[in-house]
Amino acid sequence: MQFHDYETLRFEYRGRVLRVTIAGKSRMNGVDARMHEELARVFADLQRDPDSDIIVLTGAGPAFCAGGDMAWFQQMIDDPTKFRGIAPEAKRIIMGLLELEKPIVCRLNGAAAGLGASLALLCDVIVADETAQIGDPHVKVGLVAGDGGAVMWPQLIGFARAKEMLLTGDMMRAREAVAMGLINHAVPADQLDAKVDEIVGKIQGNPRWAVRWTKTAVNVTLRDIANKVNDAAIAYEMLSNMMRDRQEAVSAFVEKRKPNYTGE
């Protein structure tokens, strides 16, 4: 299958393993309108692809995906209808990953924040460079963690630790994430590809349909949870985009200063 009309994602076949690389316009692969739209349709395209059995998701350059691009954030603050317009895409990204029958291994090569963290955590197995950081700092930019954070973090590490991470917006190193049960493996950078290949090889050595449908069965519960959480979480995220402190958070980030929140 040829993946046409993708600008922010790259595709490379290695036998029946398909590597999908997040390659945004910014050095840290920040999500903009184009990438968000592509992420909303790529997992359905991957499901239909007859030439692959396993997907490896990774990032180009020093980051996996460091969350939303600040210029795009500002556009949606200036015109909240733009944020409203991407809500269906946000749900399709989450459900697209959970409905993909093919196993998807995350090769976490660098920072994964916000939506980037959700992309990683919605994969089936996560293998990280031990120096990579992961976290969901939505609150630090004045947003509700609506695009997958409220779904996956509690399922992986429990509600108490998930709420601490989501409410503080703290980032953590990969080894800490492994110890917490958030991700599967953290290895030195020069061993990352070997570890990914090892896991892919083990999965690939099993019968295709047994693998796909085992994943599908396990994800039934996660899809049910996502269906219950998504509408409210994304709606609250849209509301938080219209708060005064949202603008202050983005302005402070761009201007590299401490924010002055008013509580509004």
3-state secondary structure 196-243: HHHHHHHHHCCCHHHHHHHHHHHHHHHHHHHHHHHHHHHHHHHHHCCC
Q: Give this prediction's pTM.
A: 0.97
* Percentage of the chain modeled with pLDDT above 90: 98
Domains of the chain: 9-204 (3.90.226.10)
The CA–CA distances, whole Å, from 256 to 115, 137, 250, 251 equal: 22, 16, 10, 8
pLDDT tens-digit map of 165-217? 999 999 999 999 999 999 999 999 999 999 999 999 999 999 999 999 999 99
* Residue 2: predicted pLDDT: 80
Mean of the pLDDT values across residues 61-90? 96
Q: Is the pLDDT of residue 1 over 80?
A: no
Per residue in 91-101, pLDDT (tens digit) is 999 999 999 99
- Check pLDDT > 80 for residue 252: yes
pLDDT tens sequence across 113-154: 999 999 999 999 999 999 999 999 999 999 999 999 999 999
Q: What is the percent of the chain where pLDDT is above 70?
A: 100
Predicted local distance difference test score (pLDDT) of residue 45:
97
Q: Which residues of 15-132 form beta strands (DSSP E)?
A: 17-22, 54-59, 63-65, 104-108, 111-113, 125-129
The pLDDT value recorded for residue 111 is 98
Mean residue pLDDT of the chain comes to 97
Terminal-residue alpha carbon distance, the chain: 49
